Amino acid sequence: MNSIQQTFANSHQAGRGVLVVYVTAGDPSLEETVEIMTTVAEAGADIVELGIPYSDPLADGPTIQAASQRALEAGTTIQGVFDCATQIRQRISIPLVIMTCYNPILQFGPEAFAVEASNIGVDGVVASDLPPSEADEWCAVAAEHNIAAIFLVAPTTPQQRVARAVECTTGFVYAVARPGVTGARDQLPEDLKGSVARIRQVTDLPIAVGFGISTPQQVAAVCEIADGAIVGSAVINIIAEASDHEARLPQVSQFVSGLAAATRW
Amino acid sequence: MTTATEQRSGRFGRYGGQYVPETLMGALDELVEAYEEAWADPEFHEELEYYWRHYAGRPTPLYLAERLSDLCETQVYLKREDLNHTGAHKLNNTLGQVLLARRMGKPRLVAETGAGQHGVATATVGALFGMETVVYMGVEDIRRQRLNCFRMELLGARIEPVESGKGTLKDATNEAIRDWMTNVENTHYLMGSVCGPHPYPTMVRDFQTVIGKEVREQCREQIGRLPDMLVACVGGGSNSMGLFYPFIEDDVKLVGVEGAGHGLHTGEHSAPLAVGSFGILHGSASQIMQDEDGQIINAHSVAAGLDYPGVGPEHAYLQESGRATYVSVTDEQALDAFEQLSQLEGIIPALEAAHALAWVIEQAGNFGEDEVMVINLSGRGDKDAAEVKSLL
Ligand SMILES: Cc1ncc(COP(=O)(O)O)c(C=O)c1O
């Protein structure tokens, strides 16, 4: 069992779901990302997801697109994100996952990327536009270097592909809550329970739900039907809207504590 | 049609594939199946040929441009896609895809557009079959292709302006794909070129091969043999693939012309085959314009339809295998060719097509006098008149 699966098992035993928090690296700066991630962990997140900003993120809505653009304009590079991850790793011990599109991995070199991530102590990687059917090379190098490969399953994924996705997955299954892009939403989709059940039928791996999860109420509802909830855009909105550096960390802390409190069954 | 360049489904050598968020994989599976089934069905071909002939006005002429031939010291034939309904080759593909969308029971169409020609061609088939049509278009392209925006609205389509990036075709494509992801149950994404995830590069090529098949037939009738060389501009690469593909196994030179913008050395161009590298853009692996981290670099071309940092995967493969040659011409050369064709032949070409003309004009004297070349005149230039006026 890897550290990600261990985290899910521990939470389960403690009677609660897992809270995964996503933050785009380099927004507003890589130095602040280190502080933000430390704050997120201290406020009760169980897993942190560090996003490599990308110029053309197909799966992302306006919030994460804007965060990526700000980060790129601030000069964020892949090596910069790895350095940032190194510092985060020195400060927190919970699982650290990198989220990216596949082209940056391809340009860095899949093997080199896995080696670098592994040396830093990154636990897993999600590539949001890499379906399992294109992932043979990535899965092989990730496995070789003990990086959990995390794949997405959508409500629109045919059952045959769900089976393939869970076979390739070695951390948790990332259940996409609804067709569409990332971004905070007022409501959970009605058929979420069915979507999760469809994945549960074919795997014992932990299942966490993301895309549009943004309030403690939604986190609570998700934790009743799945093993964890993933929150991204809502946190990024707080980071972006904070009036200044001083205000930012306490606001992030307060928001994440609220989410973490909602994970209890 | 054989698939000489396709080793396994959706792959052209190391290019192609399906690099999209999982949400779209079901829709791609469905599209692959529907397309293969339709392409094997004579009734589908009958229906498509009916619309090509009676609605679009095909076949388009193959015209010996005598004064241009004199200038270039060779035999230059123009494949007149500018005379296709809506004024470009784009309708060949949108008619094919709309019939497919109907077979799949999808009532809503989304598309991206650069020059607005694909947007107009999509709006046209949307009107023809009474389907809701949404076209994503970058704000910079809306500025330089106003006439086409008005045409799309007149045809009943909704234009969604895209502000992100540089406000051109790449950004419009991102948004069209995001819309498709959100509305995938009832929406068909009508991609306009031989880019994107499988099956688009294969499917759009197949729909555009009507161009090359007609050229074959017309050459046989008019000159009694195959041409020596085919020349076409390359944005995403659909008019060129459609012309080249039926000749792929013949002894015919294939030349694709990319936009060199302000010059390849300036970095402001749209020539990924000339100076790009292997990477992923909009769902397929191809040659793309990117930095060392894989961030996509904005393209530049005076022709909105070429202003794109990627290219269809099959072109990348044809380049790598040596079967086709890719060259580029600058904005300035294209603008000159735009004027020259207007004055020599009484035909105002689209700025995209002017790139193909410009290369042939630049190479004048390097061809045999009896050599026959066919240039794909992919569209007419009315849409560009206002922009060219402001630039000249
Ligand atoms: C007239 C014309 N030619 C060429 C193109 C470039 O596209 P492709 O390379 O797919 O033919 C466009 C695109 O908008 C166009 O409008």
The chain A residue lying nearest B174, using CA atoms, is: A58
Closest ligand 1 atom to residue B351 Cα is: 1
Q: Under a CB-based contact definition with an 8 Å cutoff, are residues B81 and B356 in contact? A: no
Residue B220 class from Cβ within 10 Å (0-12 exposed, 13-18 middle, 19+ buried)?
Answer: exposed
* Among A33, A11, A31, CA closest to A20: A11
Residue carrying structure tokens 């002017």: B354
CA B299 to CA B261: how far, in whole Å?
Answer: 9
Q: What is the mean pLDDT of each run of 10 residues along chain B (392 residues)?
A: 58 97 96 97 98 98 98 98 98 98 98 96 98 97 93 98 93 97 96 98 98 98 98 98 98 98 98 98 98 97 96 98 98 98 98 98 97 98 92 84
Beta carbon of B117 within 6 Å of any ligand 1 atom: yes
Cα of B260 vs centre of ligand 1, distance in Å, is 15
Residue with the nearest Cα to atom 10 of ligand 1?
Answer: B238
Q: From the candidates A32, A49, A116, A227, which is the catalytic residue?
A: A49
Active-site residue (options: A27, A32, A60, A123): A60
Catalytic residue list contains B328: no
pLDDT in tens, A146-198: 999 999 999 999 999 999 999 999 999 999 999 999 999 999 999 999 999 99
Cβ–Cβ < 8 Å for B310, B236? yes
3-state secondary structure (DSSP) of residue B162: strand
* Catalytic site includes residue B240: no
Query: By three-state DSSP, how is residue B271 classified?
Result: coil
Report the Cα B96 to chain-centroid distance in Å: 14
What one-character-per-residue DSSP string does B31-100 give? Answer: HHHHHHHHHT-HHHHHHHHHIIIIIS-PSPPEEE-HHHHHHHTSEEEEEEGGGSGGGBTHHHHHHHHHHH
Contact A129 B283 (CB under 8 A): yes
Contacts 24+ apart (CB under 8 A), B45-49: B47/B99, B48/B95, B48/B96, B48/B99, B48/B207
Ligand 1: centre distance to CA B127 (Å): 22
User: Residue A248 has which token pair?
Assistant: 């930012």
Residue A243 has pLDDT above 90, yes or no: no
Q: Do B181 and A157 touch (CB under 8 A)?
A: no
Q: Give the C-alpha separation, B315 to B38, whole Å.
A: 25
* Percent of residues, chain B, with pLDDT higher than 70: 98
pLDDT tens-place string over residues B250-298: 999 999 999 999 999 999 999 999 999 999 999 999 999 999 999 999 9
The answer to whether the CB of B124 is under 6 A from ligand 1 is: no
User: Residue A66 C-alpha to ligand 1 middle, in angstroms?
Assistant: 30
Q: Which domains does chain A have, with CATH numbers?
A: 3-7+18-258 (3.20.20.70)
Beta-carbon contacts below 8 Å between A and B: 117
Is residue B111 a contact partner of residue B175, using CB atoms and an 8 Å limit? no
CB contact under 8 A, A134 and B17: yes
Ligand 1 touching residue B350 (CB < 6 A): yes
Tell me the pTM.
Answer: 0.97
